[in-house]
Amino acid sequence: MRKTFIAENPSVLWFLAALGLFTLVVTVLSEWVGTGLIPTSFVKTLGKTLCLCLIAIAMDVVWGYCGILSLGHFAFFGIGGYAIGMWLMYARTESIVLESFGSQVIPPTQQEISDAIGNQIFGVVGSSEFPAIWAFADNLYLQLLMIVLVPGLLALVFGWLAFRSRVTGVYLSILTQAMTLALSLYLFQNDSGLRGNNGLSGLQNIPGFETAPQSAVSLVFFWASAFALAAGYVFFAWAVSGKMGSVIKGIRDNEARVRFLGYRVESYKLFIFTVTAVVSGIAGALYYPQAGIINPGEIAPIASIYLAVWVAIGGRGRLYGAVIGAAFVSLLSSWFTGGGAPAINLGFYTIQWTDWWLVLLGLSFVAVTLFFPKGIGGLFDYLVRKP
Amino acid sequence: MNSTLLEVSGLTVSFDGFRAINNLSVQFEETGLRAIIGPNGAGKTTFMDIVTGKTRPDEGRVIWGERNISLLGMSESDIAMQGIGRKFQKPTVFEAQTVRQNLAMALKNPRSPMAVLMHRRTARNGARIEKIAEETGLADALTRVAGELSHGQKQWLEIGMLLAQDPRLLLVDEPAAGMTVEEREKTTDILKKAAQTCSVVVVEHDMEFVRRLECKVTVLHEGSVLAEGSLDHVTSNQSVIDVYLGRAHA
């Protein structure tokens, strides 16, 4: 009598098929293994978009399913990026430093090497000392652990404080905004230990693969992003398909009822908040090597608000809606703001899309919220006949 | 032997100086029905709020079970896990989910996030859900979305969700409100049946419905017990008549 997970959730199979096909097409058209129709820079854009889709499904679970309007998930995304960026920058600088020392007759001491790396990395902020948070930067595995550990712990502590005090609704949203703003302002300081507003750069160069062309690096990261999105999608689809989905949707719709059924609502919120924060961290760790640079501006409050807008436009409460929203709006956004969209001359005024894109986005957001609360994903309801 | 399941004594709670509950003492046995009646503002809902952990009293004790545990200071979810189920005045079911999902969520099973994440359907749980659906007249509606149910069906679903928790005490707030005559009869049957295995406390305005329940009645007034006994006994009590029929009569 029990149907399998896939049989009950055919949309998962459709999604995986679509993602697989998309990955195949991009691979075939890429510069590295294919025809080269898609330039490497666009492969990177598409790979980054997949990472944004991944954080969007995390956002959909926390907001669309559990009803927590977090406006701070980009903080976790950024932390994931910083965590991988520290290793990338350290390891690359180390190899450059060692190379420059290589010609010397007297081999340099460990201290000299360390000082030289410190000078290279922290020279821009007038320092050469390694801050304590870089303690593990020389170890890839520990730093990979940080990608999940730091966002997870921050979410756990923040969530525990907020949910335990039963902060809900718009107050919680404001708190999460404050969290990401505080983190961003802190990182802007030169003595934060993460190079202030310079951020971490050169992340597109992968230590150990210096000879590999960017066309290859970009495609590998694209694959990794596609795989992470697929894995994240299956995991969240599985999690929300069962009783967990029932409970968190119950929390979204009527928190008190769930509580009187004997569920510790706070534990569930904390669980969902933390798991989605970890996934956001992973998405960020895949995103920033493709972007090449991360700075504190990336985790400004507005980024997390965009995230909510993507999910709302795509259709919250359905995972593929979040993917569609994130992909559609972020690609459209880079087209409009990147000068791709032609300016419209009205005779008395010329609409420059770099200026007016945000207005258009804002209007679309209002329109979707008012007239199509199910978002773009809601269109699929017309395709699927009700049983 | 029907020993005491819940004992409330000396309970007092004030909101901004208004005493919603005033030195209230009342006891409930392990099985059987009890109706609580009283005019608006008599403290019926506040009493339920205190027992279920939603409101903290200023004074008094709420003692539960044979091990005499105090419920004060426990969270709503912990109190629910002790076996106290609460039905709200307005039917509160999860309207976006099916009847089966609603009942599955309420079934007595481990409630921690990890246990729930790993939870998969079992035949045993399925049978329990079907049995409860049968008892509450929702056997044909299991796959329907709860939001589509009629008002009466939603009320039964909520009662079914309480039964699914294997409760020892059911607190039921105005179950008959807005129901047709047939629906009321059926609700009475469901509650009477439940009262064979657990303690059922019904808060109700409607005297006709209370009469149908054929049970002991507690009359609340201004936050304390005014009278207690059979319906005929309390309705012949002069102070109850004064409270219910108003000052014109007095």
CA dist., res. B103 & res. B118, Å (int): 18
Residue B107 distance to chain A (closest CA, Å): 9
pTM of the model: 0.92
**One-character DSSP codes across A154-177:** HHHHHHHHHHHTT--HHHHHHHHH
| pLDDT tens-digit series, residues B179-196 | 888 889 999 999 999 999
Phi, psi of A380, deg, nearest 5 = -65, -20
What is the number of other CB atoms lying within 10 angstroms of the CB of residue B30? 17
A235: nearest CA partner in chain B: B117
DSSP 8-state secondary structure symbol assigned to residue B128: H
Q: Does the distance separating the beta carbons of A242 and B120 come in below 8 Å?
A: yes
Residue A270 has a pLDDT of: 97
Most confidently predicted of A112-116, A301-305, B120-124: A301-305
Where in the sequence is the domain holding A122, given as residue range(s)? 5-298
A305-331 per-position pLDDT tens digit: 999 999 999 999 999 999 999 999 999
pLDDT tops 90 at residue A6: no
Please list every residue in chain A whose beta carbon sits closer than 8 Å to the beta carbon of residue B159.
none
Reported as a single tens digit per residue, the pLDDT across A240-275 is 999 999 999 999 999 999 999 999 999 999 999 999
> Dihedrals φ, ψ of B84, to 5°?
-110, 115
Structure tokens given for B160: 């079914």
Best B75, B76, B148, B154 residue to mutate vs chain A (most A CBs within 10 Å): B76
Distances (CA, A) of B70 to B33, B55, B76: 23, 14, 13
Give residue-wise pLDDT tens across range B125-165: 999 999 999 999 999 999 999 999 999 899 999 999 999 99
Structural domain total, chain A = 1
Q: Where are the domains of chain B?
A: 4-248
Write down the pLDDT at residue A1. Answer: 38
Statement: residue B249 has pLDDT above 50? no
Q: Does B42 have pLDDT greater than 90? A: no
C-alpha closest to that of A256 among B186, B133, B173? B173
Which of B97, B112, B165 lies closest to A249 in CB terms? B97
In a domain, A383, yes or no: no
A 354-383 near B (Cβ less than 8 A): none
What mean pLDDT do residues A34-44 have? 91
Q: How confident is the prediction for chain B on average, in pLDDT? A: 89
The answer to whether the Cα torsion of B34, B39, B45, B46 is positive or negative is negative
Chain B residues in contact with A246 by the CB 8 A cut-off are 94, 97, 101, 104-105
Which of A118-122, A342-346, A378-382 reaches the highest mean pLDDT? A118-122
CATH number given to B4-248: 3.40.50.300
Would A308 be classed as within a structural domain?
A: no
What is the tens place of the pLDDT at every residue in A41-98? 999 999 999 999 999 999 999 999 999 999 999 999 999 999 999 999 999 999 999 8
**Interface A-B: count of C-beta contacts within 8 A:** 78
Q: What percent of chain B has pLDDT over 90?
A: 55
Using alpha carbons, list the distances in angstroms from residue A193 to A142, A187, B14. Answer: 18, 8, 54
Question: For tokens 């398909």, what's the residue?
Answer: A241
Average pLDDT for chain A: 92
Say what the pLDDT of residue A386 is.
53
pLDDT surpassing 70 at residue B78: yes
Confidence of residue A385 (pLDDT cuts 50, 70, 90): low
What does the pLDDT average to over B65-93? 90
